[in-house]
Amino acid sequence: MLAEGLRKRFDEKWALDGFDLAVPAGTVCGLLGPNGAGKTTAVRILATLLRLDGGRAEVAGHDVEREAPAVRRQVALNGQQSTVDDVLTGRENLVMWGRLYHLSRREASARADELLEQFGLTDAADKRAKHYSGGMRRRLDLASSFITAPSVLFLDEPTTGLDPRNRGEVWREVKRVVADGTTVLLTTQYLDEADQLADQIVVLDTGRVAAQGTPDQLKSRLGGDRIEVVVRDAGELPVVAEVLGAGAEVDHDAFRVSAAVADRVAALTRVTSALAARGVEAEDIALRRPTLDDAFLAITGHKAVTGVQA
Ligand SMILES: Nc1ncnc2c1ncn2[C@@H]1O[C@H](COP(=O)(O)OP(=O)(O)O)[C@@H](O)[C@H]1O
Ligand SMILES: [Mg+2]
């Protein structure tokens, strides 16, 4: 999957303003960004649901504009809008989707049962979807995008609003279709989700790529692991800074000194004994790996998620 200089304008505003993407077949790309960054716009263009205003894109080897029908035959999309039919039961919804994907009646029925089980809907399988809770509808909708393994699967914020158990189910299904060779483009506001699933992360901010790389590459931009020492008495901060050496950062308000370390456990031992030798009793000594949250904040200047995460 490939995008070059994609642009899309709504009225006077550029939702995408020169968006580039290269996703090798069979890998997962996590498209990360805050609300309004342009994630859904990018997905809808790549899935041929929206026309582009500039640039070009190829999905499953076909141009999204000139060969849209060929693209459509090879992709599946789970968007933020539900495809659930209210008057059908959960099982009937899945069987219907299976039939649309050309499974035989028997195959569609077997696949529906598997998915109902995986997404925790077996007990509700024969209830009409209109009686489902919001979370159940979301799960049924997601289950429908896993009926077959398409060449390319677009998942637009697949786990927003799901509880941790159901997020885990979705992650497992994503890993399964990837193992079957599907290429996945997944948008998310959750950094841990991208960390779990993505081979490559693209950080989108106001229609442009702000950063990209593997989760580890993005984290290591921050300079790797750090050691943090917290003391009880501000008077001890200079001694601690001296022990941690060049590059130590002192936070006077938090009574904390931190520094980058290359050798984790050895550094911990070295710092602990050096502090003891100088008579400093630390309140806390910890090693910390930078998180994707740290990376995101450093890259975009704001936090990824503003709301409370499920
Ligand atoms: N159909 C539309 N009409 C007008 N503006 C839109 C439309 N769709 C998206 N936008 C605008 O484009 C920008 C990107 O939106 P979107 O792609 O939905 O972001 P995200 O999915 O990252 O939250 C936002 O400023 C949004 O308001
Ligand atoms: Mg969106």
177-181, 196-200, 239-243: which has the minimum mean pLDDT? 177-181
Q: 285-310: per-residue pLDDT in tens?
A: 998 877 666 667 667 766 655 433 33
26-30, 143-147, 218-222: which has the minimum mean pLDDT? 218-222
Q: Write down the pLDDT at residue 308.
A: 36
CA 10 to centroid of ligand 1, rounded, Å: 8
Residue nearest to atom 2 of ligand 1 (CA): 10
Residues with CB under 6 A from ligand 1: 10, 13, 15, 33, 35-41
Domains, the chain, ranges and CATH?
2-84+132-219 (3.40.50.300), 224-289 (3.30.70)
DSSP state of 291: P
Q: Hey, what are 299's tokens?
A: 């890259």
Q: Which residue among 9, 11, 40 has the greatest number of ligand 1 atoms within 8 angstroms of its CB, and so is best to mutate?
A: 40
Q: Hey, what are 288's tokens?
A: 């910390």
Do residues 111 and 102 touch, judged by C-beta distance below 8 A? no
* Residue among 188, 95, 181 nearest 140 (CA): 95
248 pLDDT higher than 50: yes
| pLDDT (average), residues 47-68 | 96
Q: Write down the pLDDT at residue 274.
A: 95
Residues 6+ apart with CB under 8 A from 278: 239, 243
CA 84 to centroid of ligand 1, rounded, Å: 23
Residue 261's pLDDT band, with cuts at 50, 70 and 90, is confident
Do residues 285 and 258 touch, judged by C-beta distance below 8 A? no
Ligand nearest to the CA of 160: 2
Residues 6+ apart with CB under 8 A from 36: 206
